[in-house]
Amino acid sequence: MSYTPAEVQTLTPIRETVEKQAPRPDLRDIFLCHAWDDRQGAAKQLHDLLEACGVKVWFSEKDVALGTSLLREIDKGLAKSRIGIVLVTPALLSRLKGEGIADKELSVLLARDQLVPVAYGTTFEALRDVSPMLASRSGLTVTADNTMANVAAKLAEVVAL
C-alpha cells in the first residue's frame, strides 16, 4: 500500500490517537457518517470494504434496530467508536445545508480529533463552500487511482492494533 505525503500527514495523528485509547470490548473501530441518500450506494460499499478488511464499523443501516430512537442510537455509536469518517458525497453536501442528522453527527465528529473526511464524487473545494471546518481537515479522496478499496485498506491500517 502506498501513501501520498498528504495522506501520511492526515493519518498519522489519527493512528496515534487510536493507539492511546484503552481497549474496550464494545468499541467499534470506525463510525461511518454519511448522507441518507448514500446508504445503499457509496456508504454501503465503503462499509462492506472496511468490514472485509476486519474493521468493526458502526453503520446506521446495520446498527439501528427498528423501533429504537435513531438519534439516541447514533449518540451511542459515536461514543463507542475509535474514530469517525465522513463520507463526503454530493448527497452529503446537499444534506449538510439542510442541517439534518448528518449535520448533527458532523458537529460531534468535528469536536473530536478523530475524524477523517473521505471525498467521493466531489472535491474538498466543493466541501469548503458547505463546511469550511470539515474541508480544513485533510482527508482521503476516492479517485480512479485511489479506489474505494484502497481507501478502505488505508483506513483499516490506521485502526489496526
> Could you give the residue numbers annotated as active site?
105
Q: State the Cα angle at 41 between 39 and 46, rounded to 5°.
A: 85
Q: In this structure, what C-alpha cell is assigned to residue 130?
A: 458547505
Q: Strands, E, within 25-146: which ranges?
A: 28-33, 57-58, 81-88, 115-119, 140-141
State the DSSP code for 29. E
| Amino acid in position 108 | V
Q: Which residue has the cell 468490514?
A: 51
SS3 35: coil
Q: Strands, E, within the chain: which ranges?
A: 28-33, 57-58, 81-88, 115-119, 140-141
Other Cβ atoms within 10 Å of 18 Cβ, number: 17
